[in-house]
A = this chain, B = another copy of it.
Amino acid sequence: MLRAILKVFQSALAATGIIGSRVRENQGHEDRETVSRVSLKSLSQQLGLSQTTVSRALNGFPEVSERTRERVVAAARQMNYRPNNSAANLATGRTGQIGHVIPLSQHMMINPHFADFLAGAGEHYSQAGYDALLRVVSTQDEEDVYRDFAGRNRVDGVVVHGPEVNDARIDLLRSLDVPFIVHGRSDTVDGDYSWLDVNNARAFRRAVDCLVDLGHRRIALVNGLETMNFAARRRAGFCEGLEANGLTIDATLMTSADMNEPYGYDATLGFLRLRNPPTAIIYASILPAMGGHRALSEAGQTLGEDVSVITYDDQLSFLRPLETGGLPLFTSLRSSIQAAGRRAAQMLIEQITADDDTPRQELWEADLVLGRSTRPVRQSRAA
């Protein structure tokens, strides 16, 4: 890659000596932006009050007289006072930060599912006066990060992403005594923790039923990585649906991998090459579904007409709405991952502020939305 380093020019340093005297002498009280390292001390001196009173007035304690509070609030705004975060944390033990660990690895299902979750969570965080603290690490270092977060008191709580079928992080966080919520669940772990999950098994069961109703009998599954709990449940629901409808489970019609566009493309091409290809395909995310769409197009097959498709749709914001002629492109199981983030954040913060250990648990059902990608199986191709 060609990289041109532009010239870097030295700026003339205005010799301001800002570092030394932190508070500006602001005689003229203009609305000028100040560098503003006004402390509680200076503010209280300015007002002729004690730090205690000023702190109480600002934090809404009831015993402060209204007149005093008004004076204090006005002065604080004028001097652009903001309490130093570290100092407040040190005194209260609360940080106002929620930790998110992002494992940097092959099978990170974070991108962009994670981004959308975070957008939703962040929305609630800022409403509630919190920030998200992000740490990107290699997967094997993830547990150390939790120990670090806990030991250094960096966060008030943690969100666990992408739980595996048997996820060690849950017990670790319990032992660290850090409030946390899991986005998803971990089935082989003692279930006494907070989580927000979608009913993945039922969603995929429904998808199968729907396709069977249309006459399909060879149905394929392009699943996520099945070490992940959500993917394991989806497969379980899928198989349950096949069996309930008297169909046999065919391993050649099931794939499992990290959910991205090229994977969907490759898996779909693989199905098309079978001597007895499926007449319907279920995708675990809209990303591989798009890859599937691309593969079908290139193979000269028409979505819906030649092959029926149902996809699980997290309603990723940069793909919504995906439609053709006003109708959804894909028949899909929908559940907004951004909404999940918003709600999970709310549950976690409630748990933190309530300071009780009762687990919060919520199970969402996905909506089945009909689009152009499902049709009755063509007679010539029915098994």
State which of B133, B153, B335 has its C-beta within 8 Å of the C-beta of A86: B153
Q: Do A152 and B83 contact each other (CB < 8 Å), given the known contacts A35-B176, A104-B123, A111-B317?
A: yes
CB distance from A207 to the nearest CB of B (A): 16
Provide the A256-292 mask, 1 if CB < 8 A to any CB of B, else 0. Answer: 0000111000000000000000000000000100100
Chain B residues contacting A297 (CB-CB under 8 Å) are 294, 297
Taking a contact as CB atoms under 8 Å apart, the answer to whether B104 and A358 are in contact is no
- Name which residue of chain B comes closest to A150, CB basis: B36
Taking a contact as CB atoms under 8 Å apart, the answer to whether B1 and A367 are in contact is yes
* Residue A306 lies at the interface, judged by CB distance under 8 Å to chain B: no
Provide the A62-105 mask, 1 if CB < 8 A to any CB of B, else 0. Answer: 00000000000000000011111111011000010100001010
Q: How many residues of A contact B (CB 8 A)?
A: 94
State which of B1, B317, B319, B364 has its C-beta within 8 Å of the C-beta of A3: B364
Taking a contact as CB atoms under 8 Å apart, the answer to whether A6 and B119 are in contact is no
* Residue A180 lies at the interface, judged by CB distance under 8 Å to chain B: no
> CA–CA, A97 to B155, complex, Å?
12
Taking a contact as CB atoms under 8 Å apart, the answer to whether A133 and B132 are in contact is yes
State which of B6, B82, B123 has its C-beta within 8 Å of the C-beta of A136: B123
* A112, A114, A199, A262 — most chain B CB neighbours (10 Å): A112
> CA–CA, A220 to B286, complex, Å?
28
Taking a contact as CB atoms under 8 Å apart, the answer to whether A362 and B3 are in contact is yes
> CA–CA, A9 to B95, complex, Å?
27
> CA–CA, A153 to B35, complex, Å?
11
State which of B8, B137, B176 has its C-beta within 8 Å of the C-beta of A126: B137
Comparing A46-54, A209-217, A321-329, the segment that makes contact with chain B is A321-329
* Residue A175 lies at the interface, judged by CB distance under 8 Å to chain B: yes
> CA–CA, A3 to B365, complex, Å?
6
Provide the A1-15 mask, 1 if CB < 8 A to any CB of B, else 0. Answer: 111111111110100
CB distance from A345 to the nearest CB of B (A): 10
> CA–CA, A261 to B261, complex, Å?
13
Taking a contact as CB atoms under 8 Å apart, the answer to whether B33 and A172 are in contact is yes
CB distance from A27 to the nearest CB of B (A): 15
- Name which residue of chain B comes closest to A343, CB basis: B3
Taking a contact as CB atoms under 8 Å apart, the answer to whether A11 and B85 are in contact is no
State which of B33, B90, B126, B335 has its C-beta within 8 Å of the C-beta of A84: B90
Chain B residues contacting A153 (CB-CB under 8 Å) are 37, 84-86
Taking a contact as CB atoms under 8 Å apart, the answer to whether A9 and B126 are in contact is no
* Residue A247 lies at the interface, judged by CB distance under 8 Å to chain B: no
State which of B102, B262, B294 has its C-beta within 8 Å of the C-beta of A119: B102
CB distance from A265 to the nearest CB of B (A): 8
- Name which residue of chain B comes closest to A4, CB basis: B363
> CA–CA, A22 to B134, complex, Å?
26
- Name which residue of chain B comes closest to A171, CB basis: B33
Chain B residues contacting A25 (CB-CB under 8 Å) are none
> CA–CA, A111 to B111, complex, Å?
10
- Name which residue of chain B comes closest to A325, CB basis: B298
- Name which residue of chain B comes closest to A100, CB basis: B134
Partner-B contacts on A (CB < 8 A): 1-11, 13, 18, 22, 32-33, 35-37, 80-87, 89-90, 95, 97, 102, 104, 110-112, 114-116, 118-119, 122-123, 125-126, 131-137, 147-148, 150-154, 172, 175-177, 192, 199, 260-262, 287, 290, 293-294, 297-298, 316-324, 335, 357-365, 367
> 9 additional contacts, CB 8 Å, given A6-B363, A86-B153, A262-B323?
A3-B364, A6-B362, A7-B361, A33-B176, A111-B115, A111-B317, A125-B135, A132-B134, A261-B318
